[in-house]
Structures are given as C-alpha cells and as structure tokens.
C-alpha cells in the first residue's frame, strides 16, 4: 500500500511559506495539509482562503484542506475556488453532511470527513461509500504539537475493514518518524505531520518519515 505524507503547514514558518512548501515538495511529499480554523469549532484561528489561493501558484502538490470550521457548507465552494483538491470537514461541525459531500463531489474534488477523538468510527459508516477519505484525529483538533493518542488506532482498523485498499484513511496529530508505523499498521495510508516535518531540517524529516513507511 502506498503511504502518502501530507505535511501540515500549521507548523511551518509563516514568514516564508513559499520556500517551505517548495522544500517539502522537493523532499518527496505528495500532499500539503492545510488546517483551517475559525475560532468557533476550535478555539484557535489559523489561516484561510486568501493564503491557500496565494500558495496555489507555487506548487502542484495535492492541496489537502482540513476544515475545522462550523457549518462548513457555507465556505466549501470558496475553498475549492482557492485551489483545494481534497476538502475534509468535521462530522461534528454540521448537520448537512450530504450537502457538504455533494458540493465537493459536484465540483469534481475529493471529499473527506473527519472525526475528533470523542467521535466513534461508527459515525462515519453511513458515508463511507460516498466519500474518498476518512480522517481520524489522533489529537484534539485545534493545535499542532500535541501528544499522539494511540487509542485512536482501533478506529483506523475498524474503518479499514469496511473500505477497499484505495480508500484514503488519514491520521492527524502527534505523528513523526518515531511512531508513524503504528497508525500505518492499523490501516492508515495518509499521514499528516506538522511539527515532525517543519521542526528542524525539513528535507531530512520528510525523507525520514517516508523511508520509515517504505520499510513495510
Ligand atoms: C490539529 C491539526 C493538525 C496539526 C498536526 O488541529 O489538524 O493537522 O497541525 O500537527 P502535529 O503534527 O504537530 O501534531
Ligand atoms: Zn489537520
């Protein structure tokens, strides 16, 4: 199974974003994870549509947009206009789940649904045949640099049993070279890493994580 690394820009140096994304791309990352926070669904505020639109010009990486915003159906179209290739919204953030999926898919983009640590995997089961990716948070959403929660791995396993091998199962939070094999062995194939990529030597960090996954 191919393992994709999606570095989370949240941990990058925001003063030199263009240089930082060029470096992760050259080092071999295929996706770029873009964490959008509204100060309501999560207490933190990160960045939004204009930043994504500006970065789109500088890279061909897959823009993997993780919306941590309430009522995401209000903004999905605009994130797609800005350059999102995958749009992931939180199941806890809206009652209009089918509407969100339809907006994304009608624009020919890939749809993902995220579950926070307190949400069971079962919440996603009714949607698995309508989406491209399930995102299992391995920390509470809102901040980078938190501690990985291994107890989330059973949710990844339960999801993997219900989908085929091409379906994307993403894990996000507290992951780096030292612990990446645990969620991968559980069935994850898209790995988000923020601090573990942008803290220190970016090229070495990306290669280290990808080489670790290639050992499998
Ligand atoms: C948390 C975000 C994550 C975060 C991961 O709300 O969804 O993508 O940036 O950062 P690390 O890898 O540092 O835990
Ligand atoms: Zn994220």
> Residues 89-114: pLDDT tens digits?
999 999 999 999 999 999 999 999 99
**What is the sign of the dihedral through the CA atoms of 36, 85, 32 and 194?**
positive
pLDDT at 132: 98
pLDDT at 1: 79
Share of the chain above pLDDT 90, in %: 99
Q: Is 35 in the pocket of ligand 1 (CB under 6 A)?
A: yes
CA dist 201 to 12, 153, 205, 206, 212, Å?
A: 12, 28, 6, 9, 16
CA of 215 to the centre of ligand 2 (A): 25
3-state secondary structure of 4: strand
User: To which residue do tokens 């809206």 refer?
Assistant: 94
Confidence of residue 215 (pLDDT cuts 50, 70, 90): confident
Question: Mind listing the pLDDT tens digit for each residue in 58-67?
Answer: 999 999 999 9
CA of 11 to the centre of ligand 1 (A): 8
pLDDT at 216: 82
Catalytic position from the list 35, 38, 64, 132: 35
Catalytic position from the list 38, 64, 132, 172: 172
Is 173:117 a contact under the CB 8 Å cutoff?
Answer: no
CB-CB neighbours of 161 under 10 Å: 9
Q: Is 192 in the pocket of ligand 1 (CB under 6 A)?
A: yes
Our answer to whether residue 172 is catalytic in this structure is: yes
Residue 192, pLDDT > 90, answer: yes
Q: Which residues pair with 7 in a beta bridge?
A: 193
CB-CB neighbours of 26 under 10 Å: 11
Please name which ligand lies nearest the alpha carbon of 116: 1
Which residue has the least CA distance to atom 7 on ligand 1?
141
CA of 212 to the centre of ligand 1 (A): 20
pLDDT at 35: 98
Q: Is 208 in the pocket of ligand 1 (CB under 6 A)?
A: no
End-to-end CA distance of the chain: 9
Residues written for the chain: 216
pTM of the model: 0.98
Q: Which residues pair with 6 in a beta bridge?
A: 192
Question: Mind listing the pLDDT tens digit for each residue in 1-59?
Answer: 799 999 999 999 999 999 999 999 999 999 999 999 999 999 999 999 999 999 999 99
Confidence of residue 73 (pLDDT cuts 50, 70, 90): very high
Those residues whose beta carbon sits under 5 angstroms from the ion ligand 2 are: 35, 66, 172
Please name which ligand lies nearest the alpha carbon of 177: 1
The domain made up of 4-214 has a fold known as: TIM Barrel (3.20.20)
Please name which ligand lies nearest the alpha carbon of 66: 2
Question: Mind listing the pLDDT tens digit for each residue in 144-187?
Answer: 999 999 999 999 999 999 999 999 999 999 999 999 999 999 99
Our answer to whether residue 35 is catalytic in this structure is: yes
Residue 195, pLDDT > 90, answer: yes
Question: Mind listing the pLDDT tens digit for each residue in 108-142?
Answer: 999 999 999 999 999 999 999 999 999 999 999 99
């Amino acid at each position: 199974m191919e393992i994709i690394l999606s570095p989370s820009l949240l941990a990058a140096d925001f003063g030199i974003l263009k240089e930082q994304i060029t470096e992760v791309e050259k080092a071999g990352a295929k996706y770029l994870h873009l964490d959008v926070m509204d100060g309501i669904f999560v207490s933190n505020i990160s960045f939004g549509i204009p930043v994504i639109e500006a970065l789109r010009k500088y890279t061909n990486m897959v823009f993997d947009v993780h919306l941590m915003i309430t009522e995401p159906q209000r903004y999905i179209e605009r994130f797609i206009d800005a350059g999102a290739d995958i749009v992931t919204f939180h199941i806890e953030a809206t009652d209009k789940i089918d509407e969100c999926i339809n907006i994304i898919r009608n624009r020919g983009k890939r749809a993902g649904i995220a579950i926070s640590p307190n949400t069971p995997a079962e919440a996603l089961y009714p949607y698995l045949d309508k989406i491209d990716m399930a995102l299992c948070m391995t920390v509470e959403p809102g901040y980078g640099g938190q501690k990985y929660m291994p107890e989330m791995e059973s949710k990844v396993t339960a999801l993997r049993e219900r989908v085929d091998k091409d379906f994307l199962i993403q894990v996000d939070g507290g992951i780096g070279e030292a612990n990446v094999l645990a969620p991968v062995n559980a069935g994850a194939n898209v790995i988000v890493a923020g601090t573990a990529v942008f803290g220190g030597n970016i090229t070495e960090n990306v290669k280290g994580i990808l080489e670790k996954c290639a050992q499998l």
